A and B are shown apart, each in its own frame.
Chain A
Amino acid sequence: MDISYQWLQSFFTDPLPAPAEVAEKLVTHSFEIEGVHTVGDDTIISVDVLPNRAHDCLSHEGIAREVAVLYKRSLVSNRYGDIPAITQEVSIPTVSLQTDAVRRYMAVQLADLSIDTIPSWMSARLAAIGQQQIHPIVDILNYVLFDCGQPLHAFDAKKVTGEIVVRHATDGEEITLLSGETVTLTPQMVVIADTEKPLALAGIKGGVAAAVTKETEHIIIESATFDPVRVRTTARTLGIQTDAAKRFENDISTHQAAVGLDRALRLLRACDKRFERGEIRDMVQTEETERSITVSHAHIEAVLGGAIPQEEVIDILDRFGWEYAAERDSYAITVPQVRKDLTRAEDIIEEIGRVYGYDAIPEAMPTIADTPTVSSRYVYEQRIRNTLVGCGYSEIITTTFRPDGESRVANPVGEDRPYLRTAIAPGMQESLTRNVRNKDVLGSDAIAVFEIGTVFSRTDEHLSLAIGWSQGKDKKGRWKEELTETLHALKETLGQSLEVTWYDNVVECNLTRLVEELPPASTYEFRQSSVQDVAYTPFSVYPHVVRDIAVWLPQETDATELETVLHTYAGEYLVRPPRCIDVFEKDGRISYAYRLVFQAPDRTLTDEEVNRVMEEIYARIAERGWEIR
C-alpha cells in the first residue's frame, strides 16, 4: 500500500523523522517496504502489508498507529473538525438486513449537500497515492477509505425507492456497475438494493442506479462491514477487484464502520457548512468483543531465548495503549477488537519481540541430543552421484513439465507443457541433443549426463535415476557399450545390479525401489564441497568455429611444446585450451592433432578472422621447423 508521508505526518503534532528513516524503522519492526520515492512535494513509502495485518493496516491511520508505537508518540485525536449536529427533520434511512453476510450496517441521510471542490490538501494527498478524482463527495469518501481503512458508499437519496435492503441476489439478477459493465449475479452474491432494484454489489462496487452525480442534492452514506469470504468469492468470480473489496476481504473490524462514518461526517462538514443530516441507523448482527490474553514473562523470555526486563515489556504494552494488569510475573492483557490477529499468547509475544527488536535477541545453539537416523536414500543418491561423476557424467536438472503424461495440472504455465513427466528420459534426450551441438565448446567428444528426479504416473510417483550418453552422429551405437560399462561401475559401488529401462541412449531406473532393496546405510559419506568460490561466467550465444590442426613433431619434442604454441597464438577468442584429439605414429614420427574452438562473446566470428589466426599459427609452427600434416 502506498503511504503519503505528508498524510502520515497529519496524524502527529511534531515532525516525523525523514521518510527514509521512517521506512527503515518500519522494516526493522513492522513491515517490509517495497520502496520510497518522491512525488512532487511528497514522498511515497510503499508498504507491503501482509495478510496478518491487512485488517487494520491498509490505511494511513493503521500505519500511523505503528509509527506511533515505534517512536513512542501519540496520534492527534481529531484532525477534521466538528461533527454536524442532527436535524430531526432529515429522515433516518430504513434498512432491512436479510443476510448474515452483513455484520454491521450504518446509514445516515444528508440533505442539501453541495460541494464544488475538495480542499487542495486532500486533492494533493489523493493524487500522491495515485487516486483519480471523480466527484467531490465520492472523493471525500475515497479519502476516508485510505485514511482509516473503512470503505464507504454514497447513494443519491432521490434514486433510492423505499427502504434499503441488504439481501442475496436472485439467480440471474443483473446490475450495471459504476464502471459501465453489467454483471449477472448468483444467489451467493450479496447486493445492497431498494424495494425495486439492486443499487450496489455489497462491499465491492456501486451501481449506476443510485449513483451520485452533479445533480445530486441529498445522499445516503453507507458504512458497513461485510463477510470477508463472501466479498472475496464474489469479487473473484466476477473478476472485479476494488480498494473496498480488498479491505473487506481482509476481515476489518465492525468498529471501523463507526470510525469511518464519523470521519466522513466531519470531513463533509468541513467542506460544506450548510447541509443537514439525520440520525444514524446502526444495525449490528455480529458482535465483536475485546479479548483477554494472559502471557507470562517467563513465556516471553523462553520464546525469545533471552532475558528482557519487565520494564521493557510494560513500556511496549503502554505504547500499544492496551489495558493490562501486570502481576508479579505475568500480564493479563485486554486486546482491542480492532486487532483481530491477536488471539493467543504467541501473538502477543510477537508484538513484544518485534517492537523490542529481534536483533536485540542473543544467539544460542540448540542441543540436538540424539544421533540422527541416517537417510539411506541420501547416502545412496550421493554414492551414485559420485560414481557417475567419476565416470565422467555431469548432473542435469530438467523440468518436471512435459507435453504428455498421465497426470495433468489444471492450471499450467504454458499450455504446451501441462503434464507431469512419467520418465526423465525424453527431457534428457533433448538435453543431450542440445549439449552435443556444443561439445567442442565443452571440450568433449561425447556428452554424458545423469539426472535424479521425481517421475509421476497417474496415481503414484517415485524417484528415478536416468543416465544418458551421446556423440551426436553415432552410427556405431557406442552408447550401448558406454552405458553398459557405467551400469557395471554402479553395480560395483552399490553391490547390486540396477534394473533399467532402455530408451535408446538413455537408461532409467526406479531409484525408490532400488534404495528399498539395498541394505540400510549407517553413515553419511560427505566430501568437502570445493565450489564455494566458483564465480559463474556467462557463455556466448553466438556460433563457435572449430579448426583442427595436426603436426608432425620430432621424437625429442614433447606435445606440450606444441600446445603452448597453439595456446599462445590462438588469440583472444579461443574458448578453451587446445585439446588433443588424436595421436598417430608412422615411420618413427608422431603426429599430434589438436582441436581449437573459437567464439566471440558478442558477435559471430567471420571466417577471415579465424583464417588470419590460423595463418599466424602455421607461421609459428613453420618457424620451429615442424611439419603440418
Chain B
Amino acid sequence: MDTKQSPQGHIHPLEHMMTDIVSVCTDLGFTIAYGPEREDGWHNFDALNIPPDHPARDMQDTFFMQHDPTQVLRTHTSSVQIRYMETGVQPPFAVIAPGKVYRQEATDATHEVQFHQIEGLYVSDDASLAQLRGTLRHILTHIFGTDVTMRFRPGYFPFVEPGVEVDMQFQGQWLEVLGAGMVHPHVLENVGIDPHTYRGFAFGIGVDRLTMMRHDIPDVRLLYTGDLRVVNQF
C-alpha cells in the first residue's frame, strides 16, 4: 500500500529511444558530441554543401533569429559533426550527435517545430556503403529487438553522395526510417580532410519517428506536452 506517490518515476519515451541508440553506437566505438542549438549559417548549411540559394535554405523551413538573420535554430545535428571535425580530429573516427532540432513548419500529427535527431558519422580510409548497411542493420535490430528487413533506395541530401533513403518493413509496409549516404567530398574539404585519402558514411536518425513507430504513438505532439499520462506509460 502506498500513501505517497508511486516510488519509481518514468523516463521520457524519446529519451529511452535515445539511450538505446546511444548505447549500441558507443558499443561500436562512436564518440558522443554536442553542439549549440542556435547555430550559424556556416555550420548548419555552407559547410554541409548547402549553398546560399539552395531550396533547403528557404525561409519556409528554417527558423532565423530576429536580431541576426545569419543565426538559425539548427535544422539537424549534422552541424555538430562539422564542429567535431573542425577540432582537428584525424581519421579514423566515429561520432554521433544527439539533440533537439528545429523546423519551421505547421504542426500536425506527424510534424512538430522541434524534434530530436541522432546523426552518425564515420570517416576512415575504407568507409563504404556496405559498412553503412551493416551499421544501420545493427542499430535498427537493437532498437526493435528483432531482425529487420531493410532497403536502400536513392535519396538526395546535399551533404552526401551517393545519398540513400533507408526503409524498414514495419506492419506489412515499407516505412522510411533514415536518411544516409557517403559524406560528400566538399564536406570533407570544408573541414580540412582530404577526400582522396579518406571517405565517410553518415546517417540521420529521426528519434521521434522511430519512437512513434516502436510504441504506436499516433501524434508527435504528445511527446512535447509534458503530460504524464503519456510519459508514465514507459
A residues bordering B, Cβ < 8 Å? Answer: 27-32, 50-53, 228-229, 232, 302-306, 344, 346-347, 349-350, 353-354, 358-359, 361-366, 368-373, 375, 377-378, 382, 385, 388-401, 407-413, 418, 420, 427-428, 430-431, 434-435, 438, 441-449, 451, 453-454, 456, 458, 461, 524, 526, 529, 531-539, 559, 579-583, 592
Contact = CB atoms under 8 A, between A and B. Distances in A.
A410 B163 contact: no
Interface in B112-143: 113-114, 122, 124, 126-135, 137-138, 143
Interface string B1-29: 11111111111111110011011001011
Interface string B53-73: 111100100011111010001
A126 B64 CA distance: 40
A306 B228 contact: no
27 contacts: A51-B55, A302-B199, A303-B128, A305-B129, A306-B130, A347-B161, A362-B130, A363-B134, A366-B134, A377-B34, A378-B22, A378-B32, A385-B11, A392-B7, A395-B231, A396-B12, A397-B224, A398-B224, A401-B114, A435-B226, A438-B229, A442-B229, A446-B4, A524-B26, A529-B20, A532-B20, A536-B217
B9 A394 contact: yes
Contact of A364 (B30, B128, B233): B128
B161 A398 contact: no
Interface string B34-78: 101110000000000000011110010001111101000100000
Given A366-B124, A532-B214, A443 B6 contact: yes
Given A358-B154, A388-B9, A399-B114, A371 B161 contact: no
Given A409-B66, A524-B26, A375 B55 contact: no
Contact of B15 (A370, A395, A434, A559): A395
Given A396-B12, A461-B37, 19 more contacts: A51-B54, A51-B156, A51-B158, A228-B53, A305-B132, A346-B184, A350-B161, A363-B134, A365-B134, A366-B124, A373-B31, A377-B32, A389-B9, A392-B6, A410-B63, A434-B226, A435-B227, A445-B5, A539-B230
B205 interface: no
B192 interface: no
A399 B154 contact: no
Contacts of A394: 9-12, 228, 231-232
Contacts of B129: 303-305, 353, 358, 361
Q: Which of B56, B105, B226 has the most CB of A within 10 A?
A: B226
Contacts, number: 294
B151 interface: yes
A27 B153 contact: yes
Contacts of A350: 154, 161-163
Contacts of A389: 8-11
A565 to B, nearest CB: 15
A312 B67 CA distance: 55
Contacts of B36: 461
A553 B173 CA distance: 56
Interface in B210-231: 214-218, 223-231
A409 B1 contact: no
A579 B2 contact: yes
A363 B149 CA distance: 13
B104 interface: yes
A409 B101 CA distance: 14
A555 to B, nearest CB: 16
Contacts of A449: 226, 228
Contacts of B162: 303, 346, 349-350, 353-354, 358
Contacts of B165: 32
Contacts of A444: 5-6
Contact of A372 (B55, B65, B94): B94
Contacts of A228: 53
Given A524-B23, A535-B215, A368 B30 contact: yes
B145 interface: yes
B185 interface: yes
Contacts of B20: 529, 532
B104 A399 contact: no
Contacts of A30: 154
A420 B38 contact: yes
Given A304-B129, A407-B65, A372 B234 contact: no
Contacts of A559: 1
Nearest to B113: A413
Q: Which 3 A-B residue pairs are closest in the complex by CB-CB distance?
A: A305-B130, A305-B128, A368-B29
B182 A397 contact: no
Nearest to B106: A413
B65 A396 contact: no
Contact of B144 (A344, A391, A532): A532
A536 B215 contact: yes
B7 to A, nearest CB: 6
A535 to B, nearest CB: 5
Interface string B149-181: 001111110100111110000000000000000
Interface in B67-120: 67, 69, 73, 92, 94, 100, 102, 104-107, 113-114
B3 A358 contact: no
B3 A581 contact: yes
A445 B152 contact: no
A454 B37 contact: yes
Contact of B94 (A52, A368, A534): A368
Contacts of B143: 532
Contact of A354 (B31, B154, B232): B154
Contacts of B23: 524, 526, 529
B154 A368 contact: no
A344 B185 contact: yes
